[in-house]
Amino acid sequence: MSAEYEPTIIAFCCNWCAYSAADLAGVSRMQYPPNVRVIRLMCTGRVNPNFILKAFELGADGVLVSG
Amino acid sequence: MCAQACPITAGNEFNRGFDFRAAIYIKYAQAVPLAYTIDRDLCIGCGLCEKVCLAEAIRYDDEPRRTELEAGAVVLALGNAPFDPRGLDTYSYAEFPNVVTSMEFERILSATGPYQGHVQRPSDLKGPQKIAWLQCIGSRDINRCDHPYCSSVCCMYSIKEAVIAKEHSEHDLDTAIFFMDMRTYGKDFEKYYNRAKEEAGVRFVRARVHSVIEDPESNDLILRYADESGNIQVETFDMVVLSIGLETPKGLVELAERLDIDLDKDNFVETGTFTPVETSRKGVYVCGTFLEPKDIPYSVMESSAAACGAEEILSDVRGTLVKEKTYPEERDVSGQEPRTGVFVCNCGINIGGIVDVPAVTEYARTLPGVVYTEHNLFTCSQDTQGKIAEVIKEERLNRVVVASCTPKTHEPMFQETLRDAGLNKYLFEMANIRNQCSWVHNNREEATEKSKDLVRMAVARAQLIESLPQPTVSVDHKALVIGGGVAGMTAALALADQGFHTYLVEQSKELGGNALKLIDTWRGEEISGPIKEMVKQLEDHPLVDVYTESNIKEATGFVGNFETTISQNGTDVTVKHGGVIVAVGAEEYKPSEYLYGDDDRVLTHLDLDSAIRSKEERITKAKTAVFIQCVGSREPERPYCSKVCCTHTMHSALHLKEMNPEMDIYVLYRDIRTYGQREELYAEARRRGVIFIRYDLEQKPEVKKNGGGISVGVKDPILGRDIEISPDLLVLACAIVPRDNSPLAEVYKLALNEEGFFLEAHAKLRPVESATGGIFLAGMAHYPKAIEESIAQAKAAASRASVVLSRDELTIEGVISNVNEILCRGCGKCEDACPFGAIAVTEREEGKRAAYVQGALCKGCGACAVACPTGAAAVRHFTDSQVLTMVEAALAM
């Protein structure tokens, strides 16, 4: 692994849109950096502000809420 | 592997010959089933594919088999073929590499296409600077291809292609669409057209194209065309796209003959306005473009309508061939230490080709709570399912994790395997290491590390998930249809004929709606006879209760269990029912413009139909008539096309010409939108001498009183000068406007679009369902449409409703909200947050108020859990700890 800065990103994705879009990106073979870890939720309405704070507290460099 | 081993290389038809495939191939990446097939015409018989297949899935010596099926009804959904423009010398499609068809351009734009979605032209693979689309290739043309009809879909797909090409292009791409009439008549189509013009900057050029010639040096294309005023213009493009229409291929014509189905003169299946999906042969139904060119939503509507036809004739035997599946009793795993099994999939080479699957499997073994791991060539294959079920029993697994593709497609299948092995289906978790890893990353080390992380997150979550109850609720088999027009009556009859008791509610004194105001259909079929027949059938039907002069007052409940109060002349009746069809129709816009209401020579379409029917003197004695199109439609305050008015104007003009062949008739229009076979009425009107003059929104016709007469002034774009007509009749082709739908939308929690029409669950794929379970849409309440389309949509709604109504019980999903009443203090924040009306604060016992969840309404979104200040409301399967453990696992490196 190189010593370059590699951010870790937590993504909270809605099952019905953003998660499906991430799947579609796969079907379309769109290449993107492997730094994101997707957590599937039934709706981004489920995203408690605590989830975001917790992610930062545990060392996430970015949080994406997409839905 | 088989395709790699195959020595044959052939043009790939799916990518229109722009790239290559082997003799053993998958037709396209999203094919269902996603399995290889051998092209016997190309195969040389080497048998290599069979030897290299690890799964031993190839039966190389397989022979065609003949299977006979007994069926009570047949649905033909045979589709259509794109028009082949090779015969048209004007465009030199076969000669010039940079002249492509719209189908080829679709593939060029596609990420799975020959150029990976980059906009490139075939001759030199360079990114074009200028692309032209030529409309109506193989449509509206009797001189060169004998296709008098409009193919209905090409205007929209060309706009879409132009907009997407601009988005995909790395530089500023100039796109120009050369057209005769822009036919964006569908729901929300006009807004898309406006956005393409105003926001995306697509150029729209009203023109007739003379020829396309090529500059042999650059392979650029020189387009000669006549503009609207008839002047010849020349412009050079890097690429030309031919917007080809649809036609019935020869094979289908022959098949129709073998099936003894009548085709019309354009080789589409012959149907009637009141029987839009019935063929000439009883029990054989048809849907989609084999019937007439059409877009996806109308094809989907017709497919459900065809299913409805089959359901009606087979209602006596419904369900008799169904075999009920049984499951072993669920093991109680509560309180047990998690014993997790992890199955990692290679997905052939889809995952294994990038991710080090054995390493991920080995890593999974080290995770807490994991007692069993293995990796499979295809975890989803049937034999692996059997194996997973065995392992669950042998290893006493109480959690299962599969690391493979996406839960969106495969979770239900794996959950089924859990149930077969006696585990609750919610004790399952997936790690998406294909769609969201191996397919999007090409570095083996990075993709393997990410896969390990995803498996760790899934395993962590698996430790905390629990068995969930899935209670059932009983279903009331009765239906409520709101609206007694042609759509509502059709839906009510279709439901009652399938054996469902139906309440039909109509606000006016009699059934029939707008259709009764029309003289006949555009095909010339009588309307009032069939409508009266329907009314009689409804009134005599033992399973139909008709409520006229009635309105919906209030409603409670959810899919399968609604309770609606109908107010009939002030008396309230409450009915229970399992489903609702909303078919409240729409109405004609009453204009304030063009002297309407001031002068009785100014009529709307419906006024004209009534006046023609009663042979009023103002009609019979008229010498000159003017029609003005788009009155109230396609305006800033009503930015949609009312779809039916152009056809109705043609039909009315022909009626007038029939009464008085000498009558001078002028039609002032913006675009003539006689889509599909309605185009023939337009051609007929021109043949009979009706004069068409185009006007722009910015320069509308002017109507004045002139002494005792009316004067209509308009600028003729061909002559380039103002002309004035003094008609005895001025007919306004008025917009179709929605009724005041908000009270009904409020009662059933339905959404309306910006214009006030009811919103469907999905514009293309679920055009008759509302977003609320058990409630369906039909007819002009959804959008203006012709009678045959309203009937098809009504039958489709009845068919979709019968899927609910025919069941005895519905299972409520386990992933729903749940309130801990001890923690709840009844503040009602959850109630405010819930978009589905599924949670409400009620008095649970004397003095104790708490939130209560109606499981059938809850979609598990979790908005209540976030709003709840005490932690009383929680969504099962997505509790705080079940989510946060994934965050922790993701970051625990």
Residue with tokens 């759509």, as numbered in its chain: B487
Interchain contact, B890 vs A10, CB within 8 Å: yes
Interchain contact, A23 vs B408, CB within 8 Å: yes
Q: Which of B30, B112, B863 sits opposite A43 (nearest CB)?
A: B863
Edge-first strand order for the sheet with B550-558 is B550-558, B561-568, B571-577
Beta bridge pairs of residue B665: B625
* pLDDT on residue A2: 53
Residue B476 confidence (pLDDT) above 80:
yes
Which whole-number Å values give the CA distances from B122 to B18, B101, B108, B127, B220, in the listed order? 8, 12, 9, 10, 11
- Per-residue pLDDT tens over the stretch A17-64: 999 999 989 987 889 999 999 999 999 999 999 999 999 999 999 999
Distance from the Cα of B451 to chain A's closest Cα (Å) equals 10
Identify whether the C-beta of residue B457 lies closer than 8 Å to the C-beta of residue A37.
Answer: yes
HSE on the CB side for B340, CA within 13 Å? 30
Global ipTM? 0.97
Long-range contacts at B311-318 (CB < 8 A, ≥ 24 apart): B311/B498, B311/B799, B311/B802, B312/B494, B312/B497, B312/B498, B313/B72, B313/B73, B313/B283, B314/B72, B314/B73, B315/B497, B315/B498, B315/B499, B317/B72, B318/B498, B318/B499, B318/B806
* pLDDT on residue B15: 86
Q: Which of A8, A23, A41 sits opposite B436 (nearest CB)?
A: A23
- Split at pLDDT 50, 70, 90, the class of B392 is very high
Identify whether the C-beta of residue B566 lies closer than 8 Å to the C-beta of residue B551.
Answer: yes
Q: Read off the DSSP letter of residue B596.
A: T
Structure tokens at B118: 């980059």
Q: Which of B406, B457, B891 sits opposite A60 (nearest CB)?
A: B891
CA distance B113 to A45: 36
Interchain contact, A42 vs B862, CB within 8 Å: yes
HSE on the CB side for B167, CA within 13 Å? 12
Identify whether the C-beta of residue B530 lies closer than 8 Å to the C-beta of residue B837.
Answer: no
Percent of chain B with pLDDT over 90: 85
Identify whether the C-beta of residue A44 lies closer than 8 Å to the C-beta of residue B881.
Answer: no
| Closest by Cα among B684, B656, B664, B659 to B672 | B684
| Closest by Cα among B34, B45, B38 to B2 | B38
Q: What is the mean pLDDT of residues B348-376?
A: 96
Write out chain B residues lying below 8 Å of A23, CB-based.
406, 408, 432, 435-436
Write out chain B residues lying below 8 Å of A40, CB-based.
407
CA distance B581 to B482: 6
- Per-residue pLDDT tens over the stretch B604-624: 999 999 999 999 999 999 999
A28 at the B interface (CB within 8 A)? Answer: yes
| Closest by Cα among B345, B365, B366 to B355 | B345
Residues 6+ apart with CB under 8 A from B530: B274
Structure tokens at B701: 């016709």
CA distance B395 to B385: 15
- Per-residue pLDDT tens over the stretch B185-244: 999 999 999 999 999 999 999 999 999 999 999 999 999 999 999 999 999 999 999 999
Identify whether the C-beta of residue B58 lies closer than 8 Å to the C-beta of residue B35.
Answer: no
Residue B474 is inside which H or E element, if any? strand B472-474
Structure tokens at B744: 């009904």
A17 at the B interface (CB within 8 A)? Answer: no
* pLDDT on residue B318: 87
- Per-residue pLDDT tens over the stretch B651-686: 999 999 999 999 999 999 999 999 999 999 999 999
| Closest by Cα among B866, B748, B876 to B816 | B876
Which whole-number Å values give the CA distances from B882 to B442, B462, B676, B865, in the listed order? 31, 8, 54, 13
Residue B181 is inside which H or E element, if any? none
HSE on the CB side for B569, CA within 13 Å? 5
- Per-residue pLDDT tens over the stretch B62-71: 888 999 999 9
Structure tokens at B854: 């109606």
Beta bridge pairs of residue B132: B176, B240
CA distance B490 to B513: 12
Measure CA of the first residue to CA of the last residue in chain B; give whole Å: 36
Structure tokens at B161: 């292609």
Q: Read off the DSSP letter of residue B771.
A: S
Q: What is the mean pLDDT of residues B730-751?
A: 96
Residue A1 confidence (pLDDT) above 70:
no
Write out chain A residues lying below 8 Å of B403, CB-based.
none
Distance from the Cα of A5 to chain B's closest Cα (Å) equals 15
- Per-residue pLDDT tens over the stretch B784-805: 999 999 999 999 999 999 999 9
A11 at the B interface (CB within 8 A)? Answer: no
A47 at the B interface (CB within 8 A)? Answer: yes
Best interface-test mutation with A: which of B347, B440, B450 has the largest number of A CBs within 10 A? B440
CA distance B422 to A6: 44
* pLDDT on residue A50: 95
C-alpha torsion angle, residues B185, B190, B196, B201 (rounded to 10) = 110
Residue with tokens 């004998």, as numbered in its chain: B146
Q: Which of B406, B859, B887 sits opposite A55 (nearest CB)?
A: B887
Helix runs in B498-527, H state only: none
| Closest by Cα among B635, B512, B520 to B585 | B512
Q: Is the dihedral of CA B859, B860, B864, B870 positive or negative?
A: positive
Beta bridge pairs of residue B503: B480, B545
**Given the DSSP bridges, would you call strands B99-101 and B239-244 parallel, antiparallel or unpaired?**
parallel
- Per-residue pLDDT tens over the stretch B688-721: 999 999 999 999 999 999 889 999 999 999 888 9
Interchain contact, B862 vs A22, CB within 8 Å: no
CA distance B181 to B630: 14
CA distance B670 to A51: 55
Give the residue from chain B lying closest to A16, CA to CA: B408
Write out chain A residues lying below 8 Å of B829, CB-based.
none
Q: Is B576 helix (H, G, I), strand (E, B) or coil?
A: strand
Q: What is the DSSP string of B700-766?
A: --EEEEETTEEEEEEEETTTTEEEEE--SEEEEEEPEEE---HHHHHHHT--B-TTSPBPPSBTTTB
* Beta strand residue intervals within B180-238, DSSP E: 203-214, 221-227, 232-237
- Which residues in B723-733 are b (16+ Cβ under 10 Å) and which e? eebebbbbbbb
Q: What is the mean pLDDT of residues B572-597?
A: 97
* pLDDT on residue B117: 85
Which whole-number Å values give the CA distances from B180 to A65, B177, B544, B670, B719, in the listed order? 46, 10, 48, 11, 17
CA distance B430 to B400: 8
Give the residue from chain A lying closest to B886, CA to CA: A39
CA distance B857 to B836: 6
